[in-house]
């Protein structure tokens, strides 16, 4: 692609979400992020020193191009909270409801946890945190574990519904993960290839919380790097069956579909990075995450099919992606002076005791 073509095609968000190395953008980072294949940036703990530094980094990323790149983070609470110092220590989602029955108090806790999480991330200019986890806690998966809201699908549906409401109240789009479900496999997809050997009827039990969430405005879904071998021979994020037939077809989902990180070990089964991206986008994902592998990103920029980024400029896809921009419902400069924030901090941190 020529430089002129690149300049002419920065009017849309590309299909790749990538990472950056440190606390400030390097010259290579800037070159990568202004390529039309890039549509978003995901931040990690290494990108955070303090809130002022993070706000500066986010502003620098946003200033690179129009439309602005989407900026994301995994900031669930518990084990998965990328920013710690100067942020409220969020309890794991499992602490919201530790009883069999979901009470009104648990619903309120879920809303408070979600609002607080989203508000503190939005304060720094970040668009989305990939939350909530919709996986059922079958007491099998160490990588999910207390990241899950509950074991029972009806409980997860109620708690996740409240969580999405809390995120929306703060002005952040919500991303359910990991579709169709990661909680019933032991292997960690970061380092191995999980295989779920259950029949479709059992898997649909794990899927069931998604229906009410979708009906009530779930904005995005992240796919699972799990093979459900009674149905497909590739992980769900590369499968037209799971994305087109189940998620978009049977459930009627019209929002954004993300891959999980394509650098994870479970994605190796598909082939090299270019094959992974091509297959994921062909299957129906709107944005592919490529994290912690800059050589792979540089190779994609050089070699990914022109057809991929031209197809990605489709108006329907672009409109989906742009629904994920943050819309804070409060003055981000005055967050910690808000009574709502002070109440949420006291309520949510009490779960850590």
Q: What is the pLDDT of residues 246-270, one digit of tens each?
A: 999 999 999 999 999 999 988 889 9
pLDDT in tens, 156-169: 999 999 999 999 99
Helices (H), the chain: 3-8, 27-33, 51-62, 104-122, 153-170, 200-207, 210-215, 240, 273-283, 294-303, 306-312, 315-322, 339-349
The percentage of residues in the chain with a pLDDT greater than 70, rounded to a whole number, is 95
pLDDT of 186 reads 79
pLDDT of 134 reads 97
Q: pLDDT-based confidence at 194, cuts 50/70/90?
A: confident
pLDDT of 109 reads 97
Nearest to 58 by CA among 146, 121, 150, 140: 121
Does residue 106 carry a catalytic annotation? no
Of 190, 272, 314, 331, catalytic: 190
pLDDT of 4 reads 41
3-state DSSP of 127-186: CEECCCECCCCCCCCCCCHHHCCCCCHHHHHHHHHHHHHHHHHHCCCCEEEEECCCCCCC
**Does residue 1 surpass a pLDDT of 80?**
no
pLDDT of 184 reads 86
pLDDT in tens, 202-240: 999 999 999 999 999 999 999 999 999 999 999 999 999
Among 52-66, 129-143, 322-336, the range scoring the smallest mean pLDDT is 129-143
Pairing of strands 195-196, 227-228: parallel
Of 19, 135, 206, 260, catalytic: 260
Q: pLDDT-based confidence at 175, cuts 50/70/90?
A: very high
**Does residue 10 surpass a pLDDT of 80?**
no
Number of helices followed by number of strands (H, E) in the chain = 13, 12
pTM over 0.85: yes
pLDDT in tens, 314-324: 899 999 999 99
Q: Span 311-335, mean pLDDT?
A: 93
The percentage of residues in the chain with a pLDDT greater than 90, rounded to a whole number, is 86
Does residue 260 carry a catalytic annotation? yes
What backbone torsions phi and psi does residue 327 show, to the nearest 5 degrees?
-135, 70
pLDDT of 253 reads 98
Domain boundaries, the chain: 1-73+292-322
């Amino acid at each position: 692609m020529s430089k002129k073509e690149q300049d002419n095609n920065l009017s849309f968000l590309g299909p790749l979400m990538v990472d950056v190395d440190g606390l400030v953008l390097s010259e290579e980072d800037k070159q990568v992020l202004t390529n039309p294949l890039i549509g978003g940036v995901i931040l990690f703990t290494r990108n955070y020193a303090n809130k002022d530094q993070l706000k500066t980094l986010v502003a620098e990323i946003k200033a690179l191009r129009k439309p602005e790149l989407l900026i994301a983070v995994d900031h669930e609470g518990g084990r998965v909270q990328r920013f710690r110092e100067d942020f409220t220590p969020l309890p794991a989602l499992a602490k919201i409801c530790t009883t069999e029955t979901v009470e009104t108090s648990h619903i309120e806790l879920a809303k408070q946890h979600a609002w607080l999480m989203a508000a503190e991330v939005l304060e720094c200019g970040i668009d989305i945190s990939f939350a909530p986890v919709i996986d059922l806690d079958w007491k099998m998966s160490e990588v999910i574990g207390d990241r899950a809201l509950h074991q029972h699908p009806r409980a997860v549906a109620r708690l996740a519904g409240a969580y999405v409401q809390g995120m929306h109240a703060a002005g952040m789009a919500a991303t359910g993960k990991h579709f169709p479900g990661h909680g019933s496999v032991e292997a960690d997809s970061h380092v191995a290839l999980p295989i779920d050997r259950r029949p479709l009827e059992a898997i649909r039990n794990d899927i069931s919380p998604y229906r009410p969430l979708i009906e009530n405005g779930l904005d995005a879904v992240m796919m699972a790097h799990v093979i459900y071998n009674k149905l497909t021979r590739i992980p769900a994020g590369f499968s037209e069956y799971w994305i087109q037939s189940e998620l978009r077809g049977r459930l009627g989902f019209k929002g954004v579909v993300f891959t999980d990180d394509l650098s994870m070990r479970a994605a190796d089964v598909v082939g090299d990075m270019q094959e992974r991206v091509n297959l994921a986008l062909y299957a129906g994902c709107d944005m592919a995450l490529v994290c912690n592998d800059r050589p792979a990103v540089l190779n994609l920029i050089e070699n990914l099919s022109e057809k991929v980024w031209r197809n990605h400029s489709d108006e329907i896809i672009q409109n989906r992606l742009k629904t994920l921009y943050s819309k804070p419902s409060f003055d981000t400069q005055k967050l910690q002076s808000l009574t709502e924030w002070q109440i949420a901090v006291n309520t949510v941190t009490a779960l850590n005791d």
